[in-house]
Amino acid sequence: MLIMAFMPYIEIMISTTIKTITRGLDRGFCKGKGVTKKTTQFGYITLWSGPIYMMHFKYSSMLTQVYMSFIYGLFLPALFPIAMMGIANLYICEKYQIYYWYRKPPMFDDKLNKQAIGILLMAPIAMFMMAFWAFGNTQMFFGVAASIDHNNKIPDPQHPLFMAGFN
């Protein structure tokens, strides 16, 4: 998660370095303007314009950070501020890149946004399911191992579903 939080900056450095080197190779690393090895206008525009904006990669990064922090954040609470920092870094980098780096993005409708919000609404449910499984573990908190029967019986968790306090 910590690597993922700083990955937008690493991606900017890598893409900027590659684009600068390819532009330098096109000019022959000379400082004169208008010097190019491209023979067509389309090749020149493609080289000197930014990359195409791929929104789905940004959504996948954000969804991964949110789900990882929600599912494992109860066990490692440091994941919540790391995810917040990662989403903030992604926002800052994307704003910068949309203004100064990418080509003019095509017009997106709200379909992808609504789908991402629908997926994000399931993150608290996944967190509660994982918390119920982990915090309901009697062996972890009470030191009592549950008996394992393989005769198709529902196992006894050895505690009620809602318990006010420890005995």
Q: Which token pair is 11?
A: 């991606």
Residue 166 has pLDDT above 60, yes or no: no
The number of beta carbons lying within 10 Å of the beta carbon of residue 90 is 20
Out of 42-46, 123-127, 159-163, least confident range:
159-163
User: Residue 74 has what pLDDT?
Assistant: 87
Q: In terms of pLDDT, which residue wins out, 163 or 27?
A: 27
| CA distance linking residue 49 with residue 138, whole number of Å | 60
Task: For residue 100, count CB atoms less than 10 angstroms from its CB and return exposed for 0-12, middle for 13-18, buried for 19 or more.
Answer: exposed
Kindly state the DSSP code that residue 107 receives in the 8-state scheme.
P
Percent of the chain at pLDDT above 90? 34
Q: In terms of pLDDT, which residue wins out, 148 or 123?
A: 123
Q: Where are the domains of the chain?
A: 2-141
User: Residue 58 has what pLDDT?
Assistant: 86
Binning pLDDT at 50, 70 and 90, where does residue 55 land?
confident
The whole-chain average pLDDT of the chain stands at: 84
Residue 165 has pLDDT above 60, yes or no: no
Binning pLDDT at 50, 70 and 90, where does residue 35 land?
confident
Residue 67 has pLDDT above 90, yes or no: yes
Residue 102 has pLDDT above 70, yes or no: yes
Residue 167 has pLDDT above 60, yes or no: no
Q: Using an 8 Å Cβ cutoff, are 73 and 63 in contact? A: no
Residue 3 has pLDDT above 80, yes or no: yes
Residue type, 19: K
pTM for this model (two decimals):
0.73
User: Residue 85 has what pLDDT?
Assistant: 95
Residue 163 has pLDDT above 90, yes or no: no
Which of 21, 2, 12 minimizes the C-alpha distance to 102?
12
